[in-house]
Amino acid sequence: MGSSKSYETLKRQWLLLNRIPRRGRKGTKYFQQALGEMGLDVSLRTIQRDLKELSRQFPLVSDDERISGWKWAEDAAVFDIPGMDPHAALAFKMIDLHLGNMLPESCLNFLKPYGRCANEVLAKLENGGVAKWPQKITRISRHLTLESPAIDPLILSAVYDGLLLEKQLELAYNNRTDSKTQPAKVHPLGLVFVDNVAYLVCTFWDYEDLRQIAVHRITSAQVLDEPATLPVDFKLKAYIAKGNFNFPQSEGSIKLECLFDAYVAKHLAESPLNQTQQLKPQPDGKILLTADVEDTAQLRWWLLAFGDQVEVLNPLELRRHMRETCQNMVGMYG
């Protein structure tokens, strides 16, 4: 009987530890209900006694009132069995290095103790390949890297909370073409990072048309109690796939025909534009590229970046645009 009673106590206290929050205190009524949902009928007095006993062994804090609220201490290490292995530690380390600006503050606060634990685990592996992995792999861009625009952390936190809770946002922002601050009530739908700039996809007021706001141009933001109205069947990935972040220059797709130098065409053979791309060698040694693509500002910037290594043949409207751009550059540089 003694052994069975000890097991029940251990099980109950183990479940209690796993229900104690890291942010915001919870009272004994909450823990009683949580244990009840797991099939344990426990009195409030027993839970109070368990929590006080556990606080002698673990970094738990209470508000010292008659009906105490409990939480983990801010600097408490991760409590987990089995403990974090090196591969899990590496995963948390890579999240910290590469996803920090894409997670809401509530998630980052939740991950902090895991990050500290990950650093401790990796620090003990002085000669381990896993510990050195963050120094052996990274991601860079061939584009000119610009400094990220400054964003008020409180504004970014409000945007994240609005998205997370699906609540309306009351904000003020500056248009790119107008320095005057404009007020707005928006329904946040998604956040898209384009290189180093974050854009909030949303609808304004009671309108249904989708808009994009550069987050660094928001001068104030407050989460409202009213729920956000989400368009039926809205999917962020589908919205992006339609080219809404590519600044379309014409309706629909175009049949692109270009003559590339052979050296450049070799790169395109390895990394094609899309599945419709075809490359055909020409008698003069150049390579004819054909592909069905969207006519976007990004496409035109990409073509111009090749300079005299590419000649656009079709469509004629795109060829005319390239010719006029080059003529303007000649006039500018003399």
Going by pLDDT thresholds of 50, 70 and 90, the confidence category of residue 1 is very low
Beta bridge partners of 278: 290
Q: State how far the Cα of 118 lies from the Cα of 85, in Å rounded to an integer.
A: 9
Mean pLDDT of 117-138: 74
For the chain, the maximum distance between any two Cα atoms, rounded to a whole number of angstroms, is: 97
Identify the domain containing residue 211 by its residue range.
153-241
Give 211's strand partners.
202
Residue 304 pLDDT more than 80? yes
Q: From CA 99, how far away is CA 120, in angstroms rounded?
A: 20
Q: Which of 41, 72, 103 is the last residue of a domain?
A: 72
Q: Is residue 201 part of a domain?
A: yes
Work out how many domains the chain is built from and give that number.
Answer: 4
Whether residues 266 and 186 fall in one domain:
no
Q: Of 44, 72, 100, at which residue does a domain stop? A: 72
Q: Are residues 101 and 66 in the same domain?
A: no
Per-residue pLDDT at 79? 65
Residue 30 in any domain: the answer is yes
How much is the average pLDDT of 186-193? 93
